[in-house]
Structure 1
């Protein structure tokens, strides 16, 4: 789940409109498989990953209704490693970058 806001530069009818954004996200993990992480046979898991999203991108207006979009997002989080349902005090560094492309319509 994520929520974010964006600021678009330039006028709405410009062909190219770069934008920046910031937001917050939470991501749950299930069915984790971590080989040899637990010598006791206990389940190894992660707490809910939560953190900040930073976005940069550009919209390209095709016409007054349709546009194409390209963006990159950086998501930072530090979920806690759990063994047998108990926290270990160790954090996993999750810092993924995602790249997106899409087509949109304004109405």
Structure 2
């Protein structure tokens, strides 16, 4: 079969395009949604308070994205990105029926090292990752319920703050190529992090958060 210059040029272009698929130097951008649900294990609020006074937190879903850079055909660096999450804090333990006692915004700042299985050009590539997350808490707000529980009043409401902390994150996920550029990516991650809440009354409470993170997004590879 005779090879024409046009066929040769097309073959070169196709091979060059294919070489962009998760090989060294590849950048991948994605956007989607992320849910973070804390697995709360609360300590007790320090004296003076009712015995077994604890807190809990709900999950939160926000728009998200991320940037991945391939160091070689298997190893990558990944930075998840998301809009700050808003979590409602509720009473637990002896004050489980108290309802909402506060809220906080949280921004997880994460850097992960990933290992991607399979060939660089495979349509589906599962991966595992590990790294560090800095859990930044800000704009904490308390409610009148917390003030009542801690013996305050309307003129001197009880306020709260949460200490920002660093924790370990483990990740598992996969990337499904739709074509040479576009892909779908999903992942599950577990972060091991603790924090300490401090009230304006001087009382403190230690809380293990250990959130579970789920994310799904569509990305572009270049």
TM-score normalised according to structure 1 size: 0.84
Shift of 1:85: 8.2
CA contact (8 A) 1:57 1:71 kept: yes
Identify the residue that residue 10 of structure 1 maps to in structure 2.
118
Decide which structure has greater helix share.
2
TM-score normalised according to structure 2 size: 0.43
CA contact (8 A) 2:140 2:160 kept: no
Root-mean-square deviation (CA, aligned residues, Å) is 2.0
Distance, in Å, in 1 between the alignment partners of 2:161 and 2:151 is: 14
Please, which runs of 5 or more residues in structure 2 have no aligned partner? Answer: 1-108
Distance, in Å, in 1 between the alignment partners of 2:119 and 2:141 is: 46
Distance, in Å, in 1 between the alignment partners of 2:127 and 2:137 is: 28
Distance, in Å, in 2 between the alignment partners of 1:66 and 1:39 is: 57
Is 2:152 the counterpart of 1:51?
no
Question: Which residue of 90, 102, 105 maps to 2:217?
Answer: 102
Distance, in Å, in 2 between the alignment partners of 1:42 and 1:84 is: 6
**Structure number with bigger Rg:** 2
55-64 or 27-36: bigger deviation = 27-36
Shift of 1:101: 0.8
Q: Deviations over 1:4-43 (max 9, x none)?
A: 1111011111111000011111222322336335334432
Is 2:158 the counterpart of 1:42?
yes
How many pairs are equivalent?
106
Is 2:172 the counterpart of 1:63?
no
Please, which runs of 5 or more residues in structure 1 have no aligned partner? Answer: none
Distance, in Å, in 1 between the alignment partners of 2:206 and 2:220 is: 41
Q: Per the alignment, do residues 51 and 91 of structure 1 end up closer, same or farther by CA in structure 2, a change over 3 Å counting?
A: same
Identify the residue that residue 206 of structure 2 maps to in structure 1.
91
Q: Per the alignment, do residues 85 and 61 of structure 1 end up closer, same or farther by CA in structure 2, a change over 3 Å counting?
A: farther
Q: Per the alignment, do residues 94 and 17 of structure 1 end up closer, same or farther by CA in structure 2, a change over 3 Å counting?
A: same
Distance, in Å, in 2 between the alignment partners of 1:11 and 1:72 is: 22
